[in-house]
Structure 1
Amino acid sequence: MTAIDPLDPAGVDDMLGADEKAVRDSVRRLCAELIDPYVATWFEDGDLPSVREIATEFGKLGLLGMHLEGYGCAGMSAVDYGLACMELEASDSGIRSLVSVQGSLAMFAIRRHGSEEQRREWLPRMATGEAIGCFGLTEPDHGSDPGSMRTRARRDGSDWILDGRKMWITNGLVADVAVVWANTEEGIRGFVVPTTAPGFSAPVMKHKLSLRASITSELVLDGVRLPADAAFPEVRGLRGPLSCLNEARYGIVWGAMGAARSAFAAALEYAGQREQFGRPIAGFQLTQAKLARMATELTNGRLLALHLGRRKDAGAVRPHEISMGKLNNVAKALDICRTARTILGANGVSLEYPVIRHMTNLESVLTYEGTEEVHLLTLGRALTGQNAFH
């Protein structure tokens, strides 16, 4: 038999072009140098102390807003961006979240909905990592129902005054700019908020047991005064923030497979080295069954991600398709991590191996950018034409 790549037994890589492989490999090399030697310690400490350095290095490689056009952004394909997300999350979900929030939420929002002045002011600096962004949508009492948000923006002469709170905000403490969504008399609107504005604060959220190598904050807006041109000029209603969430969800479809691949690789290597009853556990039927099922689900998830990426590049992908991708790939990635944990036994809960870190991270990924329930109902609405959200 011809030898196979155990991490790609169906030859999915053969469907990638040379340039796409080069993008993937460059991100993998950077993560191997910049992230992998340190991420377990960051996770254990519950901190990301080198976030500015990491953002700068990612900016040098063109990762920040890489799928956006102009203003210093790389203008790469959806598949290129997906491959980058897979490599970033193979290192850690928190690292992929850093890039996703920067590019697919904050930068995408400014690029898609911002004024020309807002784009010129922020996007070039965000693309290099000089400026870090965050995205304020989720609130303490309103996650899956953002239309009921309590954050308010009211006019005061030609200015806007913002009051409210946002929760679970990646990059909040270190951000230079926040895209904040608020209810107004005209409906929900987006605002570009410099984090130096009086009345703005971002206290760190502590006691997390997931995404620990990531900075998560509240956003507190206490009478934050902004000029009239801080508001996005045209977009009204949930269409604005949901368009951004769809971009972030697409990256998760790929990223989850990176976490799954890392856990599978760890289990495969461990099974070949760990001996019980006089031989490696990889030689036992039950272990091989676990590995075979993990490899199959990993392959299926990668194929789905690649298919959606090709459709996105063709301008054909629809929101319910991305919901299907996130729904499937995060759930399957969790299954792969949990199965990998059983192969490693007690070592599966040690940070000497990446498995438990990926597994706990994915518990957050399962929920953010739309819970399982939200994606099930999104897909159900597309299948039946009936809206079960209300």
Structure 2
Amino acid sequence: MKRALNFNAGPAALPEDVLKRAQSEWLNIDNTGMSVMELSHRSDTFETIHNHAIQTLKELMDIPENYDVLFLQGGASLQFSMIPMNLLKADSLADYVLTGSWSEKALQEAKKIGTTRVVASTKDVNYTSIPKLSDIVYNQDAAYLHITSNNTIYGTQWNVFPDTKNVPLVADMSSDILSKKIDVSKFGLIYAGAQKNLGPSGITVVIIRKDLISDSLDEIPTMLNYHTHQASNSLYNTPPTLAIYLLSLVLDWAKDLGGITKIEENNAKKAELLYHAIDSSDGFYQGHAKPDSRSYMNVTFTLPNKEIEQEFLQKAKDAGFIGLNGHRSVGGCRASIYNAVPLEHCQELADFMKNFKKTYQNREKTLFNA
């Protein structure tokens, strides 16, 4: 069976090796005579899978000892509320940097919990760039500074992060976690929905500095309190066992591949192929993001007009490319090239883009001369 050329924004491509291993263990995991979905989450077999996923993520990301890794549910969207519930005290405020739709949503939820402030935004330029660090003037007494590290809709990404010193830096890394090396110690909290780089939908990873977890916040609902999940090793209630198992396999795959160093190298090659196709098109393809803010995860672009875009998307679909439509809120085109998307698929897309441009322009020239 030929695999799809999958450029979906999320849920997104998973490594083929991971899917094959899961298939081979589907009916009998670790000689239990059961699928992983049938295991008790309190069983020794599942506990081993669960802890292995935590330890492998810590190893791959070089997570310091003073951080906990939590496996939660509700997606990154629930974290928009959990973060202010746990970190934003009544007498404090939280600072937010707006770089796209998801940071806007995070801000709107935080406003329901406490006092917030927008300290930088690129909304006035249609989110085509990331703010300069010098333009981010955050409050030295802020409960935290929130950013979204990669913006899937607009195709922008932070290349350098603010050094917030004593103010916890909180980052939504749903779409670029594990895609490049970062210094986790510079962050107070990192959260990410798994369905782009880490595994299937249904699980959210939270990496949180231990001192930010309070066990005295009785007013917070039990399931929304980080301490609940820290104290129970993320097993307070029944977790998404299949998603955690597949996360564990994806992390093993990443480790076997060569870790984040190799992944980052691969991602750069993939992005460069597509950005070269855009930049060398003499304006036929127009990238949304400014060059110094371009995402290596989501390549967004437009064509000369809506009619040509629709023709491009239809012919791409006919050729086996999946998920190239831009987000419904902005239109255009988008190629999501997360860790599991093979380099070869990006080369095929780059070639398709070049051939489509050539074919279209030759056709238009023929019609003009007719």
User: Structure 2-normalised TM-score?
Assistant: 0.25
- Quick check: which one's helix share is greater? 1
User: Structure 1-normalised TM-score?
Assistant: 0.24
